[in-house]
Every structure is written in C-alpha cells, then in structure tokens.
Amino acid sequence: MKKFLITALFFAIAVAAFAQAAPDVAENAVETAAAVVNNSFFSGRYVAHLSLGIAAFGCGMGQGKAVAAACEGIARNPQAAGSIRTTMIIGLALIEALVIYSLVAAFAIG
C-alpha cells in the first residue's frame, strides 16, 4: 500500500509538471522562451502550493498521531486526563502553526 501511495504521489507531480499549455506564437523567440520559463512547474507558485499540500498532509498525520496517543494515555491513566488534554491542545496548536507558516509563504510567493 505504501508503494502504491508513493507511486500515486509521483504520478500526480509528473502530471502537473508536464501539463503545460503550449506557448503563444511570438514574434521574438526570447519572449516565447521567457513565457515558457514563467509558466514552468518549477516557478515559485507551483512549488509553494505543492509544499502547502505536503505540509497539510504532514500536519494531518501528526495531529492524528497526537490525538491517538493522548486518547491512549487517558485510557491508561484517567486521573491524568486534564494535564494530557492541555498538553495535547498546545501540541496541536504548534503543529497547526507550521501549516499556517506554509500558507503565508505560499501567499507571499504566489
């Protein structure tokens, strides 16, 4: 399953990389080359949004593991539920802050 997900991710990246529109016919070859470079996959806006997607995916995975570990900790020791819950909420806020930083960077670049 893991190999399938990695292959699907690389396929999605490859489709986005090579799905470029044909450049308009320009009088000057330099203008055409500049238009192709500005619309390429490796320009800032595509990479910024791709990194935002990766950050959101990592955030979701991290938050899921944090909540699962907190629930397991509360189930093992119900008397410590208050401190575990407080620590979990602080941790979730810090995890979510990383995605917000990535979002701000994507807006700044794109």
pLDDT at 18: 61
For 40, the token pair is: 């390429």
Query: Which one has a higher pLDDT value, 71 or 39?
Result: 71
| Structural domain spans, the chain | 1-41, 43-110
The whole-model pTM stands at 0.58
Alpha-carbon span 101 to 82, nearest angstrom: 29
pLDDT at 88: 94
pLDDT in tens, 85-101: 999 999 999 999 988 98
pLDDT in tens, 7-46: 877 767 766 666 655 555 555 555 555 555 555 666 667 7
Alpha-carbon span 8 to 70, nearest angstrom: 31
Element (H, E) at 13: helix 2-18
In this predicted structure, the answer to whether residue 71 has a pLDDT above a threshold of 90 is yes
Cβ-contact 106, 51 below 8 angstroms: yes
Indicate the length of the chain as a whole number.
110
Closest CA to 63 of 37, 108, 97, 12: 97
Cβ-contact 73, 84 below 8 angstroms: yes
What topology is assigned to 43-110 in CATH?
F1FO ATP Synthase (1.20.20)
